Structure 1
Amino acid sequence: MKEAVPASTTPVKDGQSDQSSGDKKEKDSKWSGRNAWKYGLLLLGGWATVTTGVLINIWGAPAIDPEGNEIKDEFSDMSFLQAYLKRALKEFHQYKQMLKDPSRDKLLPDPLQYPYMQPPYTLVMEMTGVLVHPDWTYGTGWRFKKRPGLDYFLQQVGPPLFEIVIYTSEQGYNADPILNNLDPNGYVMYRLYRDATRYVEGHHVKDLSCLNRDLSKVIIIDWNKASTKLQEENRFLLKRWTGADDDRTLIDLANFLRTLSMSGIEDVRTVLQYYSEFEDPIGAFRENQRLLQEEQEKQVRLLEEKEKKKKSTPWMPSLFSRR
């Protein structure tokens, strides 16, 4: 009886399988362990080089007219490579500046004209920390808590007294649904988000000069000094609301703004500059209102006493009357 022949009759030398497995391990070790970061940097450098080349080719290409002819610019007389590099660098700086500047020169449309009614003053407000507070619980997760008195505030200061503009550094896709719930009656006339801010020294700053409004009639309500530093004379700073349920700041703020609006003041910056000297401007306004009320009550009492005294004085016949 013949013995079974193995499938492979190639002789295997002692240690050959061990050597092949060792070579495989050595090959794998080149892409792992101590050498992994070297290959990673090599791949990253190659990717960066290719990306840079593509961007230079796109941004550095000269402009083309509708007929397909090259439009000459300040770089046309340079060498091919130098011209492409200069154009690409200019385009990069413009793109970088575009990210820092507001998305448009006029953030608001022109004021309404007759027969429509344009409110005489513009009220610019931050959303987070002024109107709402981000709150997290195990039961609900993240949600935005509405500040007490917000409905009363919007009703009291909305059109026709003030043109209300929400100007926040939040992204539009986050802030829009929140504002839809906060303002179902449409007291807020315009909404401006992060793309409308100016990026300055690491902060998203609100530039009121881009609002297309007379700054003597603009008030910005915020808690953050850094985000309102371009027009300090127009700001009315509040303490940041942290979610307290007994807060009544918006009620007092509504009374302050209504008083200012009813006064018909020509330049709101004079009033705002006065209250900016107080650590608690709302508290200072309440105190001024209290003193004013006391003075008015005092004047009313004096008039009443004068009338009472006049009525109680007996009639005296004139010594020179005819007999």
Structure 2
Amino acid sequence: MHQVYVLKRPHVDEFLRRMGELFECVLFTASLSKYADPVADLLDKWGAFRARLFRESCVFHRGNYVKDLSRLGRDMNKLVIVDNSPASYIFHPDNAVPIASWFDDMSDRELLDLLPFFERLSKEDDIYTMLQEHKSS
């Protein structure tokens, strides 16, 4: 039995709620399920995550756990990964929305600032154009 403490990134509740309304969301983490599953239970009050994938679903590649999006069985033209580690999405960099790592800055607005982008993206057929524009802005 272990106690786990989690400091929630500012605006994560609003972000997850809205993403769950706009998209089919899948939690894909390199963490072990015994740790990440209880944390996801605490974070995901709205059932935004329709599926959860853990370390055993990752590919161990050059010392890193890589999230191979092709394993999701979805159209790659409609898949986006939000991650703070470029090594995690090295197989699919064109599908990535990089996000800064977060530790304890309670004034952080990154998730809140991403909401308008994802609201626009949800209406697009060609995600790659918008993703490229987002990365270059």
**TM-score, normalised with respect to structure 1:** 0.40
Letter aligned with residue 128 of structure 2: R
How large is the Cα RMSD of the aligned pairs?
A: 1.4
Q: Pick from 117, 129, 135 the counterpart of residue 270 of structure 1.
A: 129
Give the distance between the partners of 2:125 and 2:120, measured in 1 at CA. Answer: 14
Partner of 2:92: 231
Moved over 4 A (4+): none
Give 2:107's aligned residue. Answer: 246
Q: Is structure 2 residue 11 aligned with structure 1 residue 152?
A: no
Q: Output the TM-score relative to the length of structure 2.
A: 0.92
Corresponding residue number in structure 2 for 1:34: none
Q: Tell me, which stretches of 5 or more residues in structure 1 are unaligned?
A: 1-140, 278-283, 285-323
Is 1:220–2:81 an aligned residue pair?
yes
Match of 1:186 in 2: 47
Question: What per-residue deviation string (whole Å, max 9, x for no partner) do you get for residues 239-260 of structure 1?
Answer: 1112211111111112210122
Query: Following the alignment from structure 2 to structure 1, what is the Cα–Cα distance between the partners of residues 24 and 4?
Result: 31
Partner residue of 1:207?
A: 68
Check the 8 A contact 2:20/2:47 in 1, yes or no.
Answer: no
What percent identity do the matched residue pairs reach?
36
Aligned residues: 135
2:38 to 166, 177, 199: 177
**Match runs of 1:104-143 below 5 Å:** 143=5
Higher Rg: 1
The aligned counterpart of 1:59 is none
Task: Provide the C-alpha distance between the structure 1 equivalents of 2:88 and 2:59, rounded to a whole number of angstroms.
Answer: 9
Q: Secondary structure at the match of 2:105?
A: coil
2:24 partner SS: strand
TM superposition shift of 1:142: 5.9
Matches of 2:58 and 2:85, distance apart in 1: 14
CA distance in 1, matches of 2:124, 2:120: 10
Inter-partner Cα distance in structure 1 for 2:35 and 2:118? 28
